[in-house]
Amino acid sequence: MISDPLILTVVLMVIMFTFLLSSIWIAISLILTGIAGMLIYKVHLPPGIHIIDKIGDLLSQSLYDSLNSWSLAALPLFILMGEILYRSSISDRLLNGLMPWLGKIPGKLLHINVAACSLFAAVSGSSAATTATVGKITLNELKKRGYKKSLAIGSLAGSGTLGFLIPPSLIMIIYGVLADVSIGKLFIAGILPGLLLASVYSGYIMIVSLLDKDAVPKTEENFTWEDRLKSFRDLIPTFLLIALVLGSIYGGFATPTEAAALGVAGSIVLALYFKTLSWKLFRESMFNAVKTTVMISFIIAGAGFLSQVVGFLGIARAISEYIASLHLSPYHLIIVVGIMYIILGMILDGISIVVMTLPIVLPIVTQAGFSPLWFGIFLVFMVELSQVTPPVGFSLFVIQSISGEKIEYIVKATFPFFIIMLVVVAIVTAFPQIAYYLPSKMIG
């Protein structure tokens, strides 16, 4: 039996990697890891309560609580919208319409992942929904057109995390409530860091495309201004759909979940307009949306159980308290806190990371002189990193289900964008005015 939470953390990491490498389903691996943690840790229970009963209570409670969320109702709707857009001619028209505008930019259509994720992030507020929806539209199209697969997958994984940084963001809402920080200020503070991250992603794509001639198709196409003007016939319908979803949210007419339903209705109208809607298309879209939603929900449920176990055993609290005992300088403290969050991101989902660590970490960082508003943006970056950190990286699993590639290949393709996120975190840490500027100008 293990009695030290820090030692237990290392043991659980080894157990989890063993399960995952044995090709067991991701969600089952997470649940089995949680059960193993309960069995090998020295748990003090009241008389008459057996450890198996406690495992059953935690499992049943976490499976229900992790999926009993109204915000998750938007997930299947946004995925269905993406399926309809993907299976109709709309996605092809979108790429054809963008080609005259992106054809001369190094990287060409590879920038569509960054642009589409940035736009969709402002609609869904969910990393999983953003990655799944945009990936359904872009990955196969980019592959058919001859773009480098690893760069397409990596840019999707990195850009998909913008769902947490660009408002509306579920993580920001949770942080604002727990830290007593204005959610409106958090939303506005996330805009410039989000645009900075998207810009650096595009810059990296340009550099790679210039250095690697196989990154983009070798065919050169010359487009005139007449071609660019004609492209609006393909672009305007999609932009109207985006405006419908975005406008309904920011205009105060709909919640993100209601906007997702509007998006589904709008995608059906567009499919009718382009004469591509059929019963077969609709049936296949529904079936695949259900499959993707169930896959993501099962992983969320498994991660929810593991998070419950981690909280019950005091692992997150033990790590946070250990950092507090080191008495570090402010920037050394932030580096150590960042490393802690990256490690926790390997075994926990983003919401659990925030809820479990914030009561201990926030007083430490504010006492060191950091603003709660700035730390909220820093924490969102850390949650974004957890989305592309194996083994519990939701975005990696979503892309695996879409692309059919092995998780090892996806992790390798995503690694450069992981490093880019770390660089942007360092920039926002060194220049906190990036996060402060808009709130100071727009909100008193």
Q: Tens digits of per-residue pLDDT, 313-368?
A: 877 677 777 777 777 888 898 998 898 888 878 777 677 777 767 767 887 888 88
What DSSP character marks residue 44?
-
Q: What pLDDT is recorded for position 442?
A: 58
433 neighbors 217 (Cβ within 8 angstroms): no
Residue-averaged pLDDT of the chain: 82
Chain-centroid distance of CA 328 in Å reads 31
* 122 or 332, higher pLDDT: 332
Tell me the backbone φ, ψ of residue 270, rounded to 5 degrees: -65, -40
Alpha helices in 166-212 (DSSP H): 170-179, 183-189, 191-211
Kindly report the length of the chain: 444
* Residue 52 structure tokens: 């198996």
Assign residue 275 a region (left: φ > 0; alpha: ψ between -120 and 50; beta: otherwise): left
C-alpha pair distances (Å), 116 with each of 91, 187, 424: 11, 19, 20
pLDDT-above-90 percentage for the chain: 15
Assign residue 48 a region (left: φ > 0; alpha: ψ between -120 and 50; beta: otherwise): left
User: 371-393 pLDDT, tens per residue?
Assistant: 999 999 999 999 888 888 876 67
* Residue 413 structure tokens: 């393709």
* 78 or 371, higher pLDDT: 371
- How far is it, in rounded angstroms, from Cα 126 to Cα 110? 22
pLDDT-derived band at 125, boundaries 50, 70, 90: low
Residue labelled with tokens 């109204």? 70
Q: Locate the domains of the chain by residue range.
A: 70-294
| Residues linked to residue 41 through DSSP beta bridges, in sequence order | 2
Q: What pLDDT is recorded for position 96?
A: 74
